[in-house]
Homo-oligomer: A and B are copies of this chain.
Amino acid sequence: MAVKIQIKNGGVTAAAGFVAGGVKAGIKASGGKDLALLCSDRPCAAAGTFTANSIRASSVDWCEYRLPSKAIRAVICNSGCANACTGKRGVKDTAAMATLTARECGIDIDTVLVASTGVIGHFLPLDMIATALPGLYDGLEADGGSAFAEAIMTTDLVKKEAAVDVVRGRQRYTIGGCTKGSGMICPNMATMLGFITTDASIAPSRLSAVLKRVVDRTFNNLTVDGDTSTNDMVLVVANGASGIRITDAAQLADFEAGLFTVCNDLCKQIAADGEGATKRVEILIKGGATEAEAKMAARAIANSNLTKCALFGNDPNWGRIACAVGYSGAKFSDEKMSIRLCGFPVFRNLQPLKFDQKAAHEALRQKVVTVAVDLGVGQAMAIAHTCDFSYDYVKINAEYHT
């Protein structure tokens, strides 16, 4: 009896027992929704992964200190202000945001997780949050995941949600989530913010271990611009409302497969919506000596501005890809290393291959393009997700702050 991972609609409220919502609190200059709340009807096992940046927003510290946990009830998140680089006042403000939320929800402060995203170096407008919270709480709905996903967006153009049912025989539970992220995205906690819920029941320590493995294979191989943010985190909460308990190794494997599907789908959505992106790019590495080296090669290509500009220009300029492999530090075979671009073999044995330039140029116009590299020294693989690099990336980031 094999497990089935069934894709379904929805995000953080796809799983049973969760309610969510999002409102306009006035934090975002654009005037969009900017305050999001997720609540569970019972205590959740919860875990998180956090940014590798040494300068971290106090919300990151707040969550990491409390996780893993078996008692989480709510997640509050604002967009429009990262509350990062805000010193002791920033720390107090994060605690105040948790306190306000706990009071509104009638729960303990230590059962509230806090996330922020937006401009660095500005103080959190707590008064706006306090004013907006009652309306946000009153508007929580069992299908409010979409409003939640919308309220965490910054420069994102579209909201990003994914959900699956994990089915084995008569057992069925749901994993769903949403994410925001469009710029300042780099390997090692690339996602800015990701929120995953499930109605399965799982021990916090196991949830934490599974999340780390999945994030390492998904969000950590995603890059838009090579800048690792101060606020990145992925949180997962499991409330057990489905009645299914994840206990044995087979069940854990099923859960991991489901979580991977959700996270991988969210990654692709972030790459496709990268700041200024006109197309999504998937970097497929095989033949690496080790998985770490395969990742190094994948990330070097995914972070190469020159490669990404060429892809924006629909230019099959594979020399820049070879160059990035060369400086990645990954071992490769001079004879066996090869590159395929959108399926066209372009480079092998350190020599250019003849290919139909015009057809390759046309293939590069697609919404999803692939760069496949065989390092030719082993059997390790890696995938990286990114996007092309356009005028609009510069425009967005030259104009974002002021």
By a beta-carbon cutoff of 8 Å, the part of chain A in contact with chain B is 52-56, 82, 84-90, 119-123, 183-184, 186, 225-230, 303-306, 309-310, 312-313, 315-320, 322-327, 329, 332, 347, 349-352, 357, 361, 389-391, 393-402
Contacts and interface: CB of A to CB of B under 8 A. Distances in A.
Given A352-B121, A393-B394, A398-B310, A303 B226 contact: yes
Nearest to A183: B306
Going nearest first, the 6 A-B pairs with the smallest beta carbon separation are A120-B319, A55-B326, A313-B398, A87-B351, A309-B397, A317-B401
A252 B227 CA distance: 41
B350 A401 contact: no
A91 to B, nearest CB: 10
**Total copies of the chain:** 2
A112 to B, nearest CB: 24
A122 to B, nearest CB: 7
7 contacts: A53-B326, A84-B319, A85-B323, A88-B351, A121-B319, A184-B320, A184-B323
A396 B303 CA distance: 18
A53 B297 CA distance: 13
A386 to B, nearest CB: 13
A390 B394 contact: yes
A134 B352 CA distance: 31
Contacts of A316: 401
A327 B228 contact: yes
